[in-house]
A and B are shown apart, each in its own frame.
Chain A
């Protein structure tokens, strides 16, 4: 029961983070594509920047967890997937999704 309330709270908190993160992300895209987009430009902005690394790490983690909690509900309600094993599987999906994002952010930071 407590765990379920934590999941609900986590989904609301990550939603709030995502609202800000998506906005920053979109504004960055709009600004970055002005005058053409190059790999060099992207790396120039992100390489060695702890701020951007932290931003994208939080972004990716929020997106991964938020989506996995939502999919857990869809799975339970529409497919009848319930219980501890399903929960662990969704946790795996969430962390894996987050890991892909964080790995990409790290790759650009270290480039």
Chain B
């Protein structure tokens, strides 16, 4: 029964346009793949690489939405290919278009260089700096942060980010201003600003201020709309703007 179904499905083919190339440039190549009812976009990419063209470069690891490494542009929209059912995104004409993530340099084909993305996490002060433990020493005791406290909830709201880059690829401001830190890095900074154990608030707010930081955000919310984890970087960025604005009004706060 299952075999018959598969055989029938194989008679139907989808046309997948895959961007092939490298940093110097490239273009689309077309592949015909079986139109199986139950497959993800990542399954299709793997099919192309294993059965049709072994030279195709792409990136994945966990296949189950935990690692965030398989993000690509599917029909012009950044998504996790491992959590995207092909049947839900294929066009009526049976076509799919796959490109590497936008706003990042391409290494080859569907694999982008994520270095600029993570460099910006560092620039945004994305590293936790314990208040009670100088120079990386281990604190004497566990810090108790009540789960119901407002700060803890603000921090928890953004903590599940796995750094897939979907928000970064979906952000117009990143496209217009290559220096802009982007939604993921700013979301991380806001998480740490709300972490009561952290001692680097001032420096971090300085790092995320200005034209390359939170103040360039137009709150168009593509990041929030497209985040596969349903996080809300747009609100995190608004929180950073608010914090910096109130600090700016404090006496001596603007130093």
Provide the A1-24 mask, 1 if CB < 8 A to any CB of B, else 0: 110110011001000000000000
- Contact call A4/B176, Cβ cutoff below 8 A: no
Q: What residues of chain A lie closer than 8 Å to B177, measured between beta carbons?
A: 76-77
Q: Taking chain B's interface residues, is the majority helix, strand, or loop, or is none over half, making it mixed?
A: helix
Q: How far is the CA of A73 from the CA of B177 in the complex (A)?
A: 11
* A5 interface neighbour in B173, B176, B215, Cβ under 8 Å: B215
- Contact call A1/B206, Cβ cutoff below 8 A: yes
Nearest B residue to A74 by beta-carbon distance?
A: B176
- Contact call A1/B176, Cβ cutoff below 8 A: no
- Contact call A77/B173, Cβ cutoff below 8 A: yes
Q: How far is the CA of A4 from the CA of B206 in the complex (A)?
A: 11
- Contact call A8/B215, Cβ cutoff below 8 A: yes
Most buried by B among A2, A8, A12, A78: A8
> Number of B residues whose C-beta is below 8 Å from A?
14
Q: Is B210 at the interface (CB under 8 A from chain A)?
A: yes
Nearest A residue to B179 by beta-carbon distance?
A: A82
* A8 interface neighbour in B176, B241, B254, Cβ under 8 Å: B241
Q: What residues of chain B lie closer than 8 Å to A1, measured between beta carbons?
A: 206, 209-210
Q: Is B248 at the interface (CB under 8 A from chain A)?
A: yes
Q: Taking chain A's interface residues, is the majority helix, strand, or loop, or is none over half, making it mixed?
A: helix
* A70 shortest CB reach to chain B, Å: 11
**Total contacts A to B, CB within 8 angstroms?**
28
- Contact call B245/A4, Cβ cutoff below 8 A: no
CB contact list, A38-61 vs B, under 8 A: none
* With A9-B245, A9-B248, A77-B176 as contacts: A4 and B254 at CB distance below 8 Å: no
Q: What residues of chain A lie closer than 8 Å to B209, measured between beta carbons?
A: 1-2, 4-5
Provide the A72-99 mask, 1 if CB < 8 A to any CB of B, else 0: 0100111000000000000000000000
> Number of A residues whose C-beta is below 8 Å from B?
11
* With A9-B245, A9-B248, A12-B245 as contacts: A4 and B210 at CB distance below 8 Å: yes
CB contact list, B211-229 vs A, under 8 A: 211, 215-216
Q: How far is the CA of A4 from the CA of B248 in the complex (A)?
A: 12
Provide the B167-208 mask, 1 if CB < 8 A to any CB of A, else 0: 000000100110000000000000000000000000000100
Apart from A4-B211, A73-B216, what are 18 other A-B pairs with CB-CB below 8 Å? A1-B206, A1-B209, A2-B209, A2-B210, A2-B254, A4-B210, A5-B210, A5-B244, A5-B248, A8-B215, A8-B241, A9-B248, A12-B245, A76-B176, A76-B177, A77-B173, A77-B177, A78-B176
Nearest 4 A/B pairs, CB to CB? A4-B210, A77-B176, A1-B210, A8-B215
Can you list 23 residue pairs at the A/B interface with Cβ under 8 Å?
A1-B206, A1-B209, A1-B210, A2-B209, A2-B210, A2-B254, A4-B210, A4-B211, A4-B215, A5-B209, A5-B210, A5-B244, A5-B248, A8-B215, A8-B241, A9-B245, A9-B248, A12-B245, A76-B176, A76-B211, A77-B173, A77-B176, A77-B177
